[in-house]
Structure 1
Amino acid sequence: MATGIELIVAAAMCVACPALNESLPANLIQLSDDGSRSLSTEMPIDVEATDAGLDSDTPVETLETIINKKLKLREMRDWIKGKHLRIATLEDYPLSYTEVLDNGTRIGHGVSFQIIDFLKKKFNFTYEVFVPQDNIIGSPTDFDRSLIEMVNSSLVDLAAAFIPSLSDQRTFVYYSTTTLDEGEWIMVMQRPRESASGSGLLAPFEFWVWILILVSLLAVGPIIYALIILRNRLTGDAAQHPYSLGHCAWFVYGALMKQGSTLSPIADSTRLLFATWWIFITILTSFYTANLTAFLTLSKFTLPYNTVNDILVKNKHFVSMRGGGVEYAIRTTNESLSMLNRMIQNNYAVFSEETNDTYNLQNYVERNGYVFVRDRPAINIMLYQDYLYRKTISYSDEKIHCPFAMAREPFLKKKRTFAYPIGSNLSQLFDPELLNLVESGIVKHLSAKDLPSAEICPQDLGGTERQLRNGDLMMTYYIMLAGFATSLAVFSTELIFRYVNSRHEANKWARHGIGRTPNGQSIKPSRWLRGWQRLDSGKKQLLGTSTQGQNVTPPPPYQSIFNGGHAAVAADPRHRWKRAVGQSNGVLLGNDALTDGGVRRLINGRDYLVFRNPDGQSQLVPVRSPSAALFQYTYTE
């Protein structure tokens, strides 16, 4: 309800409005007072207005065209009554297929002939069915024994099949103006064991994220090293010693593996560099862990081949019907699938002449792993029949019921129509009726009437359980193998370089005397030779060896420091220890601090017993219990 203010405003606006134009357009069809329609002009010919199909908004200048069309259609209806038509079709189950009776008569079935039967009842004609010898649509380069040849030669009056509207065939036949449907050719393949989004470890991030992580892992170490060197040179600070490039690189790798680092920078700028990388790694690993958990539990299943580009890039073998829309869309240069033409030349594409879809599914897809490309109605019927058969084998295992999966993206889309010979006027009679069937949804209903309302064998089966398989952990195995192989290669390289260096130094010894260089300077034996000096368990001595270190004895047992058995321990030649005297570093505790065999000292806030070993070096023995336990374990175990 309008308010009072709104009515006042509306009245004010109406005052300013111009006067209404009560004059009517010329030649307007008007209704009389009793509701009947009166004409402002006479009809061009003596025909009733109802026969002319006039509407209240039809302009008079089109009346003659409409009347002529109506008259022509009436004449065609009279002509086709009792007429016997020759209709060609294709073996394209379930849209069109035929059956040969015992008397040799061929009967048409499928959606196409349900439409033809409807037209037959409406226009009262009869027909007989023909199938081309090769059961192919045909093209300018594949014309013989095809459906296009039969229609073009006027051997038949009509082609009743869902024929894709291809550009090259338009010069041979006349497509109906009414589009029956938009055909979609779908890919069917073996259902993979795991999702194609990646293996378990690589799934959380896409390919370019992994590439950038690898680049950052290789670049951050040298960047930190360069910034530390630049900082020291600009500031002249000697407190922060520059780390080597190897230390910086291992810090970056250790941070990624959450292993920490022994580097302890002093400068604030260096600390910020280290902290920035740690924050980046913390966020990155958090995202990775969360996404990995989501992928292993709630990830969406995807197929390895979803689009035409996947087939082209991965060079995947595929099979389709011989002489169908897919083959001609590939072989025709100005069609959408022409880029797959080289796959035909390389024998990656197979066009089967077998009309039984179940045979193609089992022979090419199940046995050889091909991708089967077929139009959607045929795919749905084929998978549903296969599902019903496998249901009898195993009633509860869903993976046995659905060994195949269907891609969601169409491989090809084409409008499909009936076809007439060029110059035929049957399209003017049949196309309006076909349009009514399409707009009312009858054609779509007939295409799916034998299928259940639920989706059969969807791409994602939606299983609730998700157990890890070897496929999810395969990347872990690869990493382990790569790590062991790399370490083995590095170890072999170390041995080779060590052997080469030892031979080089041995040659020096052989040419210039033992321990002498050409200029008379003494040299040490190679690390290779020094490393083998201790392999001999006997009494033989190698060159350059010393016996001084062999007489060094370990400290006395920790318990003997505080008990009265010092004399017995001291008598043992293996424990030749002396009391330490004159130690300058440390604070001497009270008299109770003096114990047999050592002096108790407080060094850097910790208690030690100071001993003098035979070579004159001071030996510190920790007194605190944890440190003492580690000390005792080191020398006794």
Structure 2
Amino acid sequence: MANGIELMVAAALCIGCPPMQNETLPTNLVQLNDDGNMITEIPLVVGGVGLDQDAPVETLEVILRKKRKLSDMRDWINGKHLRIATLEDYPLSYTELLDNGTRIGHGVSFQIIDFLRKKFNFTYEVFVPQDNIIGSPTDYDRSLIEMVNNSQVDLAAAFIPSLSEQRSFVYYSATTLDEGEWIMVMQRPRESASGSGLLAPFDFWVWILIFVSLLVVGPIIYVLIIIRNRLTGDKEQHPYSLGHCAWFVYGALMKQGSTLSPIADSTRLLFATWWIFITILTSFYTANLTAFLTLSKFTLPYNTVNDILVKNKHFVSIRGGGVEYAIRTTNESLSILSRMINNNYAVFSDASNDTYNLQNYVERNGYVFVRDRPAINIMLYQDYLYRKTISYNNEKVHCPFAMAKEPFLKKKRSFAYPIGSNLSVLFDPELLNLVESGIVKHLSAKDLPSAEICPQDLGGTERQLRNGDLMMTYYIMLAGFATSLAVFTTELLCRFINSRQEANANKWATHGIGRAPNGQSIKPSSRWFRSFRRLDGSSGSGNKQLLGNSTHGQNVTPPPPYQSIFKGSDNAHRWRHAVGQMGHGGHGVLLGGADPNGVGGGGAMGGGVRRFINGRDYMVFRNPNGQSQLIPVRSPSAALFQYTYTE
């Protein structure tokens, strides 16, 4: 390494060196002036655009022509004053009118315009159409399309959706600013649209099939039992009535059991099959109901355009916006909603204030508000901040509105120029750089927090049952009471008809009608009368009885009161005396040889025999019909027995 003395010697020697004869700089050297600006003209690089040596001369001429055109456009716009039209579409574009009458543009659109102004050195003034609408061939007057088409302005700086009918009036920029998404906002429902309360665990068709099985299984069991008895000739298994089978099916569903005890194996399998089915069904219902009330995902009743169309839901959007023209235009995707405009289900508001539309239409009237995503996010965020001052902790108060997940409409949006304008050639490359770098997207959401404001599912861990969840329970109770009232009315009507018929039959018998010559009664000849006689049990064969009939009214002496078995009271003496008289009269005797004086033999109290059956104590008496009657001795069973014969 050279030291300081060597460097000083080398400098002194260079002073005496002759000057260089060739002062020509290298050909590829780029020279800068004192200000740091480039003064060397860079030649056109052909290889960078994918051209080879055999490229046609016309292609080179086109590239050179475009370059000269851009250079000429830069010279033309330098210092020029432009007229720019826009829309009141907060936050993408909106204006402010100063006291001196000057209108200033704000929003994402004018942040882009200010960037272009600084780059190309021009000035501008802002205009807004009288009706603040985009415009269409059928809605042309006082619109933005009219101003651009008539060259009243040099360009339209707004996020204008690319609609098919407007292309014949304006020229959209080749660079797409974004793909606009229009979202639905509605009142937040109290319960999820996936189901409400008790009906939530099962699908609609599952409930229908359960109801059908409840009506069908009872008659099916009844028919199969009859067929089985007729094919086998079994006399031990008595066929159950249709009413018994129907109540068994219903009782199994309600987990109430049944008093039916079939003997045949096939009948037992029928009963067991229904029980297994009900057990599995109720287990699934209980598990799904618990999951729904605690872990179910919250969904909205209106998520897509089809939901609005099928349910005929009122909705509101901005007058003269992309949604209205997409509905009114035949070849657009939303043209299926055109009939809703004719039926007054669609409202297009002239108010550009989104907060007014949200409170007036959504909060008060329950409409669905359709708006583009940036405006919706800003609107809900500002509403959230306001309601946060009212209630600090209650999240349901903070977020009374919910936003659908699926877009209502998707359209590409861009600036618009008059047809034949050259500004697109100059501005589009710069706009493309802003879009590809994510600056446009950043400007659209820079005033919003990173977290989602008022999501569809608030994510609360607590889930308390409300009246809405129990509404089906109330409906079931009302339906049950109404059905019982109808059945009770029918019973009164039938009883009234039967009493009138019995009165008429007694009247005929008094006058000699319905009596044989020997004085015996004869059956009425009318089939209608005979049916009523079968209903009240006056005729018929065997031991058959209708469902619900009781033997308490028949000539059967009930067993003694429970206290009379172990207490030598007068009641026990009278009961044994009465039974003894019936025994001497041919109606029955006491088991154990009880005499009319109440002195029995062989029993604990002389009126019966104490037996130990199936591990339980019973007092065995003989009924007047000759059958043995068991009276339980154990206290709980005795209490039920006492209640049965005394109440």
Task: Place the TM-score, normalised by the shorter chain, in its bin.
Answer: 0.7 to 0.9
Q: Deviations over 1:522-568 (max 9, x none)?
A: 4699899999xxxxxxxxxxxxxxxxx999976655555456x47x6
**Shift of residue 261, structure 1, vs aligned partner:** 2.5
What is the aligned partner in structure 2 of residue 55 from structure 1? 48
Could you tell me the TM-score, scaled by structure 1's length? 0.81
3-state DSSP of counterpart to 2:287: helix
What is the aligned partner in structure 1 of residue 369 from structure 2? 372
Q: Deviations over 1:354-406 (max 9, x none)?
A: 11111111111111111111111001111111111111222222122111111
Name the Cα RMSD after superposition: 3.7
CA distance in 2, matches of 1:290, 1:350: 44
What is the aligned partner in structure 2 of residue 350 from structure 1? 347
Following superposition of structure 1 onto structure 2, how do residues 579-598 of structure 1 map, counting pairs within 5 Å? 593-598=602-607
CA distance in 2, matches of 1:556, 1:284: 46
User: Is 2:92 the partner of 1:87?
Assistant: no
Could you tell me the TM-score, scaled by structure 2's length? 0.80
What is the aligned partner in structure 2 of residue 600 from structure 1? 609
Q: Deviations over 1:232-266 (max 9, x none)?
A: 45555555444443333333222222222333344
1:246–1:558: structure 2 CA closer, same or farther, 3 Å change rule? closer
**Shift of residue 171, structure 1, vs aligned partner:** 1.2
Residue among 598, 614, 622 paired with 2:631: 622
CA distance in 2, matches of 1:570, 1:364: 82
Instruction: Tell me if structure 1 keeps the 8 A contact 2:83–2:153.
Output: yes
CA distance in 2, matches of 1:456, 1:571: 87
3-state DSSP of counterpart to 1:128: strand
Query: For residue 300 of structure 1, what is the amino acid of its counterpart?
Result: K
3-state DSSP of counterpart to 2:453: coil
Q: Deviations over 1:100-144 (max 9, x none)?
A: 112111111100111111111111121111111100000111011
User: Is 2:87 the partner of 1:78?
Assistant: no
Instruction: Tell me if structure 1 keeps the 8 A contact 2:579–2:589.
Output: no
**Shift of residue 513, structure 1, vs aligned partner:** 3.1
User: Is 2:530 the partner of 1:521?
Assistant: no
What is the aligned partner in structure 1 of residue 357 from structure 2? 360
User: Is 2:416 the partner of 1:414?
Assistant: no
Instruction: Tell me if structure 2 keeps the 8 A contact 1:305–1:407.
Output: yes
CA distance in 1, matches of 2:305, 2:212: 32
Residue among 182, 186, 191 paired with 1:189: 186
Instruction: Tell me if structure 1 keeps the 8 A contact 2:175–2:431.
Output: yes
Instruction: Tell me if structure 1 keeps the 8 A contact 2:87–2:158.
Output: yes
Q: Deviations over 1:467-491 (max 9, x none)?
A: 1111111111111011101111111
User: Is 2:575 the partner of 1:578?
Assistant: no
What is the aligned partner in structure 2 of residue 538 from structure 1? none
User: Is 2:460 the partner of 1:463?
Assistant: yes
User: Is 2:249 the partner of 1:256?
Assistant: no
Following superposition of structure 1 onto structure 2, how do residues 416-565 of structure 1 map, counting pairs within 5 Å? 416-511=413-508, 513=510, 516-517=513-514, 521-522=521-522, 558=562, 561=565, 565=568
Query: For residue 598 of structure 1, what is the amino acid of its counterpart?
Result: G
CA distance in 2, matches of 1:499, 1:333: 68
Instruction: Tell me if structure 1 keeps the 8 A contact 2:177–2:413.
Output: yes
What is the aligned partner in structure 2 of residue 546 from structure 1? none
3-state DSSP of counterpart to 1:467: coil
Instruction: Tell me if structure 2 keeps the 8 A contact 1:190–1:369.
Output: yes
Following superposition of structure 1 onto structure 2, how do residues 95-106 of structure 1 map, counting pairs within 5 Å? 95-106=92-103
CA distance in 2, matches of 1:622, 1:629: 11
State the number of aligned residues.
574
User: Is 2:136 the partner of 1:127?
Assistant: no
What is the aligned partner in structure 1 of residue 5 from structure 2? none
CA distance in 1, matches of 2:253, 2:472: 18
Instruction: Tell me if structure 2 keeps the 8 A contact 1:553–1:574.
Output: no
3-state DSSP of counterpart to 1:170: helix
Instruction: Tell me if structure 2 keeps the 8 A contact 1:553–1:576.
Output: no
**Shift of residue 166, structure 1, vs aligned partner:** 0.9
What is the aligned partner in structure 2 of residue 5 from structure 1? none
What is the aligned partner in structure 2 of residue 12 from structure 1? none
1:104–1:528: structure 2 CA closer, same or farther, 3 Å change rule? farther
What is the aligned partner in structure 2 of residue 28 from structure 1? none
What is the aligned partner in structure 1 of residue 107 from structure 2? 110
Residue among 312, 322, 329 paired with 1:332: 329
Instruction: Tell me if structure 1 keeps the 8 A contact 2:84–2:155.
Output: yes
Instruction: Tell me if structure 1 keeps the 8 A contact 2:198–2:470.
Output: yes
Q: Which runs of 5+ in 2 are unaligned?
A: 1-25, 29-39, 538-552, 594-599
CA distance in 1, matches of 2:227, 2:563: 54
What percent identity do the matched residue pairs reach?
79
3-state DSSP of counterpart to 1:598: coil
**Shift of residue 216, structure 1, vs aligned partner:** 2.6
CA distance in 2, matches of 1:298, 1:509: 69
1:402–1:511: structure 2 CA closer, same or farther, 3 Å change rule? same
3-state DSSP of counterpart to 1:142: coil
**Shift of residue 155, structure 1, vs aligned partner:** 1.2
1:334–1:622: structure 2 CA closer, same or farther, 3 Å change rule? same
1:502–1:86: structure 2 CA closer, same or farther, 3 Å change rule? same
**Shift of residue 572, structure 1, vs aligned partner:** 5.2
Instruction: Tell me if structure 2 keeps the 8 A contact 1:554–1:575.
Output: no
**Shift of residue 267, structure 1, vs aligned partner:** 3.9
What is the aligned partner in structure 2 of residue 142 from structure 1? 139
CA distance in 1, matches of 2:448, 2:561: 88
3-state DSSP of counterpart to 1:471: coil
3-state DSSP of counterpart to 2:157: strand
Instruction: Tell me if structure 1 keeps the 8 A contact 2:113–2:157.
Output: yes
Q: Which runs of 5+ in 1 are unaligned?
A: 1-33, 37-46, 532-548
Instruction: Tell me if structure 2 keeps the 8 A contact 1:509–1:515.
Output: no
1:399–1:414: structure 2 CA closer, same or farther, 3 Å change rule? same
User: Is 2:272 the partner of 1:275?
Assistant: yes
3-state DSSP of counterpart to 2:578: coil
**Shift of residue 200, structure 1, vs aligned partner:** 1.1
What is the aligned partner in structure 2 of residue 19 from structure 1? none
What is the aligned partner in structure 2 of residue 246 from structure 1? 243
3-state DSSP of counterpart to 2:469: helix
1:91–1:594: structure 2 CA closer, same or farther, 3 Å change rule? closer
1:636–1:202: structure 2 CA closer, same or farther, 3 Å change rule? closer
CA distance in 2, matches of 1:289, 1:609: 45
User: Is 2:392 the partner of 1:395?
Assistant: yes
